[in-house]
Chains A and B, each alone.
Chain A
Amino acid sequence: MDNLTQEFLAESFEGLDRMDRCLTELEARPEDAELIGEIFRAVHSIKGATGFLGFTRLERLAHAGEHVIGALRSGRVRATPEVVSGLLGLMDGLRTAILLIEQTGREGGRAEDDDSGMIAMLAGLSGDGPVVEAATQGPGGGSQWNEVSEKTLRIDVEVLNRMMNLVGELVLTRNQMLRAQGDAEGLTELTLRLDGVTADLRQTVMEARMQPVTHLFGKFPRIVRDLALSCGKSVVLEVSGTETGLDKTLLEAIKDPLTHALRNAIDHGIETPEVRMAAGKPRQGMVRLAACHRSGSVVIELSDDGAGISLSRVRAKAIERELVSEAQAAAMSDWDALQMVFLPGFSTSDEVTHVSGRGVGMDVVKSNVERVGGTVEIESREGVGTVVRLRVPLTLAIVPALVVRSGGQCFCLPQSALVELVHVTWHEARLAVERIGEAELYRLRETLLPMVWLDRVLEFDSSEWMHLEHGFYVAVLEIEGRRFGLAVDELMSPEEIVVKALTCGLREVGLFSGATVLGNGGIAMILDVMSLANRAGVHPMLDKLRGQEMAVWAEELKPRFVVFEGKMHGAQAERVAMPIGSVERIEVLSLGAVEYAGGRPLLQYGGTLLPLEDSSGVLAEMVNGRAEAATEMTVLIFRRGTERVGLPVRRVLEVAGGELLPELADESGDSMAIVGERVAMVAGERLQGVA
């Protein structure tokens, strides 16, 4: 297709979009001469170009339309709903014809390409011929998206000029840098300039890709009008924040999800006028579409004042579809219950209407938005309305990320998923991670987080000893309401990375969403947080069991013990366990701090005297120097009745779940337990019994 035709197509589509907006407004303000003028210009420019390009069918159609609009302009014809419908029909006809040219390069002479009916109808409207009923067009007719305008982009000349200037400066700086080689002093300054110019250029190129959301929102008044008509509802659309800019690719990506949500709002949300009157609401339903920038992302909010989502129906439906059990549904919070509408195959609509409810539901909306790194939230109150909130990043190509290291290799974590970073030092490492069955959990303040070890997921040679020796970092990540901790070896630096698509062979690994070239020239893979969570088996529900509940659950599952080394038996130290619930603190203290009163060892601890329980003789062994060159001791502090007591131990081995074996209790009351697959004496009861 030649350039001229392509330009014509892009311009025509834009003209039709403008006409679309104006026509729906015209219905509200039939006397507005400016609107009529705008519509006239759109049709006129199509007609003007068609003669030159030789598209006779389009010319005839545009001509007939021009005639009606001319009659409108001169005031001979009033913009009645029939006329507006007729003009909308004309617009659809023009769009269909132009789409055909886009696809085939020709106007086509098929039977369905015959416009005589349309032309006669338009002639009737302009008062020149008999009135013909407007051909009924499906609501989808006017909302076909076209391909040419998706590939081309109109850029403000100002932005382009700025870009050109910056490129010029970039070349200049490069030349200077080449000359300055060897002159180290000048180089620093030049490097700084290069940095500045590059940053500006990047910003400007990003701007050039930005489009105001009005390009997308502009199509919605027509959709709302057609939908409301076919559903027998009365709906006003209020649009705000149309000047908000968004990357073109992203704009395309949210088009379908947003349209779907809009259909939902009108079809399922807004009630019929009778129902609304009965509920004491205004007759006309209100749908609001608002866009704004918020902390580095674009938020698009679609709200309606309709019936809202009935939570009892959501619960009932989820049970019916066997998505949850009855008990689960009852225990679920309202928020959680509402989020079930995002589950695949979920629809609360009782009957399938022609507009929506064909099984393509909110899950598709969600997955489409997530594909471009966005999120979807839903809020609803029965009888009051529903809000659907889409949050998308400003741009796709460049994302802020954190570079982390695992198994000697660098990986990028998108900052958008990052909640918090925690350093686990080597002496915390042993106690930081708790196990419940197969699952590993990290206790972060009041919450237990499912843990994922990056090196294990990537099947590197496991280096658990290294984590215990050197400590590790936990990146707390959150995606789609799932929060989990990702353990990595090292944190590198935050970097603005340029996302490169993966080519065949690497895409299929599934764990990476892209790759990037780092500042040092090396390649780093970008981790896909979603599939990381999936592959590691992090379930959204696990996260919901916060703090207490989780801790209780953990306790019920298996009693947990602190295992430590007690008295020496020859070369081997005795394994002793104490239920974790009775241990208050574990302290490492200097041996020199031990004082004696009446032969009993004591410690000054936290302003009080702490008696040391040394019936096993560990302390005596260490003080008498039988343990080689010990200067420090580990003390478990526990409560005996109302008193606090310290228990010196050789060293703490682990914290693990275990099982008490009461049948093996000996005459002194000591019992045994299997902890971490090895037998250990349980110290707690005997010591507590001493009191």
Chain B
Amino acid sequence: MRGDAGDAEVMLCSLSVGGQMYGIDTRKIREVLGIRVVQRIPLAPKYIAGAVSYRGEVLTTVSLRALLGLPAVVSETWVIVLDGDGKRQGNAEQFGLMVDAVGGVTMVSRDLLRENPPALSDAYRGLCCGAFRTREGLLVELDPEGLRPERLAERMPGGLKKRVVDRGLG
């Protein structure tokens, strides 16, 4: 995370949603599961794509598409397992993140990080730490903490009370 001031370079795993490139610090990633069918869960909030089984556990899987307010896709989706909260060892909950596709690992220099622009829409605010200007275009760094289901539950308007089933997801 950005707090680690000592690292001049950071390894980001690149992924894409709706044609935009995003990156997540590889240290926060437990495993990239690849193309997976996410079992949708009735009555779950819209931003929850459903559940996947991972090493004997059933993980809540967040849909980045739904979080960004993009329409659901019917095509194949990738699932990444993100680590639990480092500060609360032991009882931290892992969770899944559903994205359109996962690319490779990119090394980027911290110097290139630009803060979130003030005009950033609410959907993006809280999910992103900032953006890197790379040769391929803008790479938006996602903040894994902001994607945690429990954080989303606090942040999303009507969050868990509004029981919406997004039938297109998964």
Contact = CB atoms under 8 A, between A and B. Distances in A.
Given A502-B60, A505-B152, A521-B53, 6 more contacts: A503-B60, A504-B149, A505-B48, A505-B62, A505-B95, A517-B53
14 contacts: A458-B165, A459-B43, A504-B93, A505-B150, A505-B153, A506-B44, A506-B60, A508-B153, A509-B44, A509-B163, A512-B41, A515-B58, A521-B53, A523-B58
A126 B42 CA distance: 70
Given A500-B57, A515-B58, A505 B42 contact: no
Contacts of A516: 58
B165 A506 contact: no
A460 B41 CA distance: 11
Interface string B149-168: 11011000000100101000
Interface in B105-144: none
A402 B132 CA distance: 52
B52 interface: yes
A29 B88 CA distance: 52
A525 B41 contact: yes
Contacts of B57: 500, 503
Interface in B26-58: 39-45, 48, 50-53, 56-58
Contacts of B148: 504
B113 to A, nearest CB: 29
Given A509-B43, A523-B39, A504 B153 contact: yes
Contacts of B160: 505, 508-509
Interface in A378-409: 407, 409
Interface in A240-296: none
A201 interface: no
Interface in B75-119: 93-95
Nearest to B148: A504
The 8 closest A-B pairs by CB, nearest first: A505-B149, A458-B42, A515-B58, A523-B39, A505-B60, A504-B149, A508-B160, A504-B150
Nearest to B160: A508
B59 interface: yes
Contacts of A407: 42
Contacts of B95: 503-505
Interface of A: 407, 409, 458-460, 500-506, 508-509, 511-512, 515-517, 521-523, 525
A181 to B, nearest CB: 23
B137 to A, nearest CB: 32
A11 to B, nearest CB: 25
Contacts of A523: 39, 50-53, 58
Nearest to B84: A503
Contact of B48 (A409, A506, A515, A521): A506
A511 B43 contact: yes
A509 B153 CA distance: 12
A409 B51 CA distance: 13
Contacts of A502: 58, 60
A516 B51 CA distance: 11
Contacts of B39: 409, 522-523
Contacts of A500: 56-58
Nearest to A509: B43
Contacts of A509: 41-44, 160, 163
A503 B43 contact: no
Contacts of B51: 506, 515, 523
A108 to B, nearest CB: 26
Contacts of B44: 505-506, 509
B97 to A, nearest CB: 12
A436 to B, nearest CB: 27
A506 B95 CA distance: 11
Contact of A503 (B40, B42, B56, B93): B93
B153 A459 contact: no
A682 B42 CA distance: 44
Interface string B55-70: 0111110100000000
